[in-house]
Structure 1
Amino acid sequence: MVNYLLYNKLTPSYKAFLMNLKTIVIPKTIEEALSHKELSHAIDEEIDALEKNCTWDLVLLPLGKKVVGCKWVYTPKYKADGTLERYKPRLVAKGYSQSYGIDYFEMFAPVAKLNTIRILIALAVNLGWEMHQFDVKNALLHGNLEEEVYMNITPGYTFTRQNNVVCRLKKSLYGLKQSPPAWFGRFTQVMNGFGYIQSNGDHTLFIKHGDQNKVTALVVYVDDIIIT
């Protein structure tokens, strides 16, 4: 009864938005996804992007090594009226099958402190500094793997049908336990190369001193960045 009363209080446009959401069907198998022309094309593009990023090498599975599974996740992107705009396919590794000390060691990365973000905003407002916010596209895919991780051939990947061929991962993937620290380690390395110094008080804060007493401060929260 409560839900019905709340629904009646909604505007007609929002009711239509909710009804459109109910009509969206998310594929459950790779066969269903590949039968959808636009989604099949998006999967091909995602595989091409992973290959261009040198995410893996195709190798024969070494004796005694375990394999991590993988699956496609299809995230629906909606228009303002609730209708489907497109599906965003993402390859996700089944990290729950990984074993500590064998194919991963670290799984946590530092997260920006709320007080750090507040201080940066306060400085920008009081000193009249420009502030920008942006995010890194597919951030976790940029992390370099140090561990020896093997993954099953990607569903829908038809480059090879040879038995016992697997993907030797070189870059991190969504779902891997070590993806967050791998990405943050790569990000820290790049920022140090640009002359930024990592703060000891908050490891997600990077500061660079320039000429004429200019200073740039950057804080990163997973894949979101604030710079001033």
Structure 2
Amino acid sequence: MRFDVLTLFPQMFEAVLGDSIIGRARENNILEMNFIDIRDFSTNKHRKVDDYPYSGGGGMLMNAQPVYDAYMSVAEGLDYKPFTIYMSPQGKVFNQGIAIDLANYEHIVLLCGHYEGIDQRVIDEIVDMELSVGDFVMTGGEIPAMTVIDTVSRLVPGVLAAETSYENESHFNGLLEYPQYTRPAVWHDKPIPDVLISGHHAKIEQWKREQSLINTLKKRPDMLEKAELTKEDIKFLKEYK
């Protein structure tokens, strides 16, 4: 899978996405990532990429021309249009479901805004989706773009050791993940649940499901309204409450 990021701060990405699981996937050519500096496409001798908005008010707006030319440096010559996402506080709020959909694309371009945003004309021309990472405003789209790349990348086959590494995680199936434990079996006089060392796989799986339901009920009850619950799940939750 290929990611191209259009940004004013390409150096920020390598520090975050050059190590650990994502870094290894890049080394193994499972993921390709290119960080394109929009300033390289400025026609201004000072590499200026912003100007005052016609609407007035405070702040500066990124010009359409350098953004478009940076995009065309990626898209020109391709026999398809790469799926292009603008990281914006006005966008749809990013979640696991969107990440799963995006993982089906072979090539994604992420556009990172700065200042008061980007000239709407270039957004209209190249952007397929606007995404936000939450109902708040950040100084730029770089950190949100990293969030999207990291979340989507780990869903790409081969990035994680096995699909089960993410299929049981929080949000993947509409519930929060069950609590997990490791050695020692007793720590600070607190033992792990007996079922986990029972060797009874069916009971362990039942315990995991029930603990996911409890975790979601306690921490994110709003998620239960959208989760696909079985009759057994509903019965368990009623008895637990």
- TM-score (normalised: structure 1): 0.24
Structure showing the higher helix proportion among its residues: 2
Structure with larger RCO (C-alpha < 8 A, sep 6+):
1
Structure showing the higher strand proportion among its residues: 1
- TM-score (normalised: structure 2): 0.23
